[in-house]
Chain A
């Protein structure tokens, strides 16, 4: 198992609400990437944080935002939740941003009703 942890494991929200998901990276890793995995699909890149700065973003609207803290843990915030936001949210940590191996956390299963 990797040293990447995520909380909470499961979450149920209603449309229009806001949610914050958390990720602790593996010791020594300064880069965290967030992915959304819809049921039956591959993970899709949301964004990456490197040393507390956003370092790349996928094709997700601005209501998906994030933070990285000095200890390199990270948060994913989603505002104005929509039904299609229901998915497994995965974070992955890596040593640096440039093509280093990414190790995934167990994910947070978000259900939007």
Chain B
């Protein structure tokens, strides 16, 4: 089955700096890659997603890039703000009849003043 690795496990940046989180996946058939933000005690919230027919997608300060050949995708957050502090999870879909999401282990992002 699919295996998703995520790095780094923790990331501390100063407000205004950029943050980059990287994920690799194992199943070349995966074609959907969402990113979720989870604040303490709250539900995972979709922040951006990308499908395999696209190499890059941007939404304001957030962008995701996908390299299907290398089987890795990355989340880029620019001009970080304290409210960006949370745990971020990447995921990949296991294609087939069910859209099973396989998640990475998470990155705890801390934005300091």
Using known A-B contacts A42-B105, A43-B101, A104-B45, determine if residue A99 contacts B95 with beta carbons closer than 8 Å.
yes
Is there a chain B Cβ closer than 8 Å to A98's Cβ?
yes
Chain B min CB distance to A93 (Å): 11
Assess whether B97 is in contact with A56, with CB atoms less than 8 Å apart.
yes
Within 8 A of B (CB), among A51-102: 55-56, 58, 90, 92, 94, 97-102
A100–B99 CB distance below 8 A = yes
A24 within 8 Å of B (CB atoms):
no
Provide the bound-state CA to CA distance between A44 and B98, in Å: 14
B73 at the interface (CB under 8 A from A): no
**Count of chain B residues near A, Cβ 8 A:** 27
B44 touching A56, Cβ below 8 Å: no
B43 touches A33 (CB 8 A): no
Q: Mark A22-62, 1 if CB is under 8 A from B, else 0.
A: 00000000010101000011111100101000011010000
Chain B residues whose C-beta falls within 8 Å of the C-beta of A97 in the assembled complex:
97-99
Interface residue count on the A side (C-beta < 8 Å): 29
Contacts of B42 in A (CB 8 A): 106
Which residue from chain A places its CB closest to the CB of B91 in the assembled complex?
A: A42
A45 to B1, CA, bound (A): 12
Q: Are B44 and A94 in contact (CB under 8 A)?
A: no
Q: A102-B99, A104-B45, A106-B43 known; 4 other A-B pairs, CB under 8 Å?
A: A31-B99, A55-B97, A90-B43, A99-B99
Closest 4 CB pairs of A and B: A56-B98, A42-B103, A99-B32, A104-B43
Using CB atoms and an 8 Å cutoff, list the residues of chain A in contact with chain B.
2, 31, 33, 35, 40-45, 48, 50, 55-56, 58, 90, 92, 94, 97-107
For this complex, 29 residue pairs linking A to B, each with C-beta atoms less than 8 Å apart, are A2-B43, A33-B98, A33-B99, A33-B100, A33-B101, A41-B106, A42-B6, A43-B89, A44-B103, A48-B100, A55-B97, A56-B98, A56-B100, A90-B43, A97-B97, A97-B99, A98-B95, A99-B93, A99-B99, A101-B46, A101-B49, A102-B46, A102-B99, A103-B46, A104-B36, A104-B44, A104-B45, A106-B42, A107-B43
